[in-house]
Structure 1
């Protein structure tokens, strides 16, 4: 099982994959990906991710989560509101046996997405509620933390969360090291290869706390080109280069880290 890649954060249920999902899955397997940890952003996606697990039970490891930003029926994203979580809560409990994590959850304090204090308060209330569900169901969390790295880690520690993946982490190395102390893991998508901005961060986080992700269909090597799970090889090579170790080492250690964090993904 551990001789392949684990894509720790992927939106395989996104509409961008509906047309050619079978081909995408085939390319994923050919690239050596053994597990795709499939996160959701809204309750409308929950059924789709379960269908994908039924279709590809040895590959797709489902998560349920309500993202801190919601589409709001239009092109503009808006901050999540407590009522966005209402329909989701019973589903977490109904499908608890099939879930490997609660995610994608978190905080996004980007000014144009959360312009008012009320937006941040609403996000925090939804985040804390989902952290408490994760603890109750004994599941790890798959976490988004844009423009909110320190407060996200602080909140999780305050809520007694011990198992978390901070995906596409872009906070300061000093903040990341607080997360390392708490036992959290950090994952990086192909987009990190576009610039050298996160080299220092990746260098300072121990390899035992790093996972690989694609965040497909977003965060690929080219900004406006659809990303796929097969591109997991790109951050693997990039991290290997920064750490001065082989790609095989990064592949092996990140997969072990992933299965340690998401033990139920092993049996998917």
Structure 2
């Protein structure tokens, strides 16, 4: 049976995906309180590929308000990385978000960087890839990963300059794009320059769908595939096949799982828990 796509980055529960043409859902987390929720999806062991991670932006205490992550936020997550390491597909969603209204001070950015480096080091120690968020911080994000010796990484919804992306390509990193790229041509230059061997598909469900203010779903991964195919002048089948192989190569646990089943989907969900950062 022909395999479906791998949704390399989403935040959604596992319902109704078997009909979506998605083989694997790589489910990422943003906060420690999401870790248990991801692990509760054990009834879909061949569909959901869980990840633990702390996003650079955390709940700010009021609706819609975010604050930069701090090392104190990592304290309760570190033991969980190690406790559940055998079940994790990657460390994510981690990264840097230097958007001015989210990280207005150097202290905010320094705190994000400290947590990012700590989680990169945990990923290396556990021999896991990383699933990375980067906004208004592409160059620093890629440089930091290279400095920490990271060789297996997915930069999701990447919007940095092509020159920075190509630095990531040299380091072996992969880049994924959600259905939101269909809204305009802003990513066309980047997608054209990235080798197909370094591209993956994602939805970032329930966000970043083809239309603003509408809930995104893993089934929309076909839109990302079609758009990338159009931009690169390839068939959707070629893009779907290549991106699935790329995802399996990166998330090796998912690849091993797929040797037993070819009809499910991986969703990466950030999971945390590990020894105290050195």
TM-score, length of structure 2 as denominator length: 0.90
Mapped partners of 1:263, 1:103: distance in 2: 15
Higher helix share: 1
Structure 2 counterpart of 1:217:
206
How much has 1:105 moved relative to structure 2?
0.2
Structure 2 counterpart of 1:142:
131
Structure 2 counterpart of 1:240:
229
- Following TM superposition, the consecutive aligned residue runs of length 4 or more in structure 1 with deviations greater than 6 angstroms are none
How much has 1:131 moved relative to structure 2?
0.2
Tell me if structure 2 keeps the 8 A contact 1:11–1:215: yes
Deviations 1:30-87 (A, max 9, x none): 12101000000000000010111x0111100000000000012212111001111110
In structure 2, the CA distance between the partners of 1:80 and 1:2, relative to structure 1 (3 Å rule), is: farther
How much has 1:3 moved relative to structure 2?
2.1
How much has 1:29 moved relative to structure 2?
1.5
How much has 1:209 moved relative to structure 2?
0.1
How much has 1:267 moved relative to structure 2?
3.9
Unaligned runs of at least 5 residues, structure 1: 14-20
How much has 1:192 moved relative to structure 2?
0.3
Tell me if structure 2 keeps the 8 A contact 1:2–1:256: no
Structure 2 counterpart of 1:69:
57
Structure 1 counterpart of 2:156:
167
Mapped partners of 1:267, 1:49: distance in 2: 20
Match of 1:182 among 171, 192, 196: 171
Structure 1 counterpart of 2:8:
8
How much has 1:266 moved relative to structure 2?
2.7
Deviations 1:183-213 (A, max 9, x none): 0000000000000011000000000000000
Tell me if structure 2 keeps the 8 A contact 1:70–1:79: yes
Q: Equivalent residues in 2 for 1:40-59 (5 A)?
A: 40-52=29-41, 54-59=42-47
In structure 2, the CA distance between the partners of 1:142 and 1:154, relative to structure 1 (3 Å rule), is: same
TM-score, length of structure 1 as denominator length: 0.94
Q: Equivalent residues in 2 for 1:104-115 (5 A)?
A: 104-115=93-104
Deviations 1:209-254 (A, max 9, x none): 0000000000001110110111100010000001111101100000
RCO comparison, higher one (Cα < 8 Å, 6+) = 2
Deviations 1:142-161 (A, max 9, x none): 00000000000000000000
Q: Secondary structure at the match of 1:97?
A: helix
Structure 1 counterpart of 2:263:
none
Mapped partners of 1:247, 1:100: distance in 2: 26
Unaligned runs of at least 5 residues, structure 2: 258-278
The Cα RMSD (Å) is 1.0
